[in-house]
């Protein structure tokens, strides 16, 4: 059990979290669904480790990158069909092999108990985000689940972060694992924390977040240090 967090900060805090690679290791289920879509169309299978560097910009981008890695282009009519097929296959067994990262559940509980308002800010389609969080019994931690269809522009646009956060609160933060998370937070003027274990196209240390951490349990102290330094 985590120790109680300072309510002088967290009772006035609104914190948004990326989903894939930050809260949940979804790569095994993503690669299963992805390969189910691309193999019948003549592509070679994508490996789980490769998918971890391709996630973060939505379902269509994941499929496009699979094609690009094999020197092929994804044509527009087929792109729509493949995205629909991917969503259908993935949603049908969305949490079969996905796992919540260590310390996530207890850390979210500690922040919520301290009064923080928590949300999800993800480029994963909203219908899939809802289903995944429900399947893993995480929904109750969050006041908002903001996928790309629930905002005017998805990450790295600042609108996505602003939609996810309760901006009337005094302390704001975005916790993620990749460039879209950090870039969106910066553009929105929000504190950013990045996890080193996540799904990033480039080293997490090069993303320019306000804090780089290696365990989810360090999220509260990282945010508190940023907020106190800004006071």
The whole-angstrom separation of Cα 222 and Cα 216 is 10
* 175: nearest Cα among 120, 227, 133: 120
The whole-angstrom separation of Cα 146 and Cα 130 is 9
- Residue 5 neighbours by CB distance under 10 Å: 22
Triad 208, 179, 193: Cα angle to 5°: 55
Q: Name the residues annotated as catalytic.
A: 18
Cα 101 to chain centroid distance, Å, stands at 12
Q: Rounded to the nearest 5°, which phi and psi values hold at 211?
A: -145, 140
Residues in Cβ contact with 60 at an 8 Å cutoff, skipping those fewer than 6 apart: 79, 83
């Amino acid at each position: 059990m985590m120790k109680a967090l300072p309510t002088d900060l967290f009772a006035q805090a609104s914190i948004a979290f990326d989903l894939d690679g930050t809260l949940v290791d979804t790569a095994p289920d993503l690669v299963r669904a992805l390969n189910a879509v691309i193999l019948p169309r003549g592509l070679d299978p994508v490996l789980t480790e490769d998918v971890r560097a391709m996630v973060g910009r939505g379902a269509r981008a994941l499929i496009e990158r699979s094609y690009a890695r094999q020197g092929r282009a994804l044509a527009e009519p087929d792109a729509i069909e493949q995205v629909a097929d991917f969503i259908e296959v993935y949603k049908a067994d969305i949490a079969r092999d996905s796992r919540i990262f260590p310390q996530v559940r207890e850390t979210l509980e500690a922040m919520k108990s301290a009064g923080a308002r928590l949300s999800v800010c993800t480029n994963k389609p909203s219908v899939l985000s809802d289903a995944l969080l429900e399947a893993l019994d995480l929904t109750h931690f969050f006041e908002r689940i903001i996928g790309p269809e629930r905002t005017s522009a998805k990450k790295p646009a600042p609108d996505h972060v602003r939609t996810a956060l309760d901006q009337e609160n005094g302390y704001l933060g975005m916790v993620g694992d990749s460039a879209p998370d950090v870039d969106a937070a910066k553009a929105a003027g929000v504190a950013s924390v990045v996890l080193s274990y996540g799904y990033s196209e480039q080293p997490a240390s090069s993303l320019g977040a306000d804090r780089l951490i290696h365990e989810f349990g360090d999220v509260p102290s990282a945010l508190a240090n940023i907020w106190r330094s800004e006071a």
